[in-house]
Copies of this chain bind each other. A is one copy, B any other.
Amino acid sequence: MKNRIITISREFGSGGRTIGKAVAEALGIPCYDNELLKEIAVESGFNEKYVEDAGEYAPGGFLASAFSHQAPGPNNADYLWKIQYRLITELAEKGSCVIVGRCADYILRDKADCLRVFIHADMAFRAERIVSIYGERKESPEERIKDKDKRRAAYHRFYTDMKWGKAQNYDITLNSGTLGIDKCVEIIESLY
């Protein structure tokens, strides 16, 4: 029998990770996010920060290769993708869990009984949230959010060919800004 997995994709600053952790705790199952990054980092021999960044950058296409000194063919991002693909598959085989980000919805589409969740919120809600969690930076919170979302969407598109944030790709999408983080947790928990 296939394990029940909850995959959470999320806009930067929408509270997707917080929601994932809370759902996992309420259900008594593990939640993989930074933990997963660490495993990938160890396996790949790259450092953790590098792995974290690579998960949000789509590899450059033909032009990027043509105008750089990079050799054509698989690059570091592709290498990491393979490790990530295998790790997520193994985690899902091991038992029920919550997995935040990392295209787990796509990787597990035929391998597990997934509840596919997408969390988003409006810019004002997210801007306030990232400043309170990650602190001020040189760039405005709005710039940081736009940049991060763009990278996540491109990465998702590159490796899955599915549109990030398109309602039809998920079982449920929730606006954490209007519904509230707690209500999102409650709904997802009730669907498990």
- CB of A12 closer than 8 Å to a CB of B: no
Bound complex: CA A170 to CA B191 (Å): 19
Bound complex: CA A173 to CA B173 (Å): 5
**Cross-chain contact B179 with A173 (CB below 8 angstroms):** no
- CB of A178 closer than 8 Å to a CB of B: yes
Binds B, one of A40-48, A77-85, A95-103, A161-169: A161-169
**Cross-chain contact B174 with A172 (CB below 8 angstroms):** yes
Give the chain B neighbours of A120 by CB distance below 8 A: 167-168
Other-chain residue from B168, B173, B187, B190 in contact with A170 (beta carbon distance below 8 A)? B173
- CB of A3 closer than 8 Å to a CB of B: no
**Cross-chain contact B175 with A172 (CB below 8 angstroms):** yes
Bound complex: CA A178 to CA B117 (Å): 12
Bound complex: CA A118 to CA B168 (Å): 10
Give the chain B neighbours of A172 by CB distance below 8 A: 172-175, 179
Bound complex: CA A190 to CA B172 (Å): 15
Question: Quick one: which of A141-191 are within 8 Å of B by CB?
Answer: 165-168, 170-175, 178-179, 183, 187, 190-191
Give the chain B neighbours of A191 by CB distance below 8 A: 179, 183
Give the chain B neighbours of A174 by CB distance below 8 A: 171-172
Which residue of the partner chain B has the closest CB to A118?
A: B167
Bound complex: CA A103 to CA B43 (Å): 50
Give the chain B neighbours of A11 by CB distance below 8 A: 168
Q: 3 tightest CB-CB pairs across the interface, nearest first?
A: A167-B173, A173-B173, A171-B175
Extra inter-chain contacts (15) besides given A171-B174, A179-B191, CB under 8 Å: A120-B167, A120-B168, A165-B166, A165-B167, A165-B168, A166-B166, A166-B167, A167-B167, A170-B173, A171-B175, A172-B174, A172-B175, A172-B179, A183-B191, A187-B190
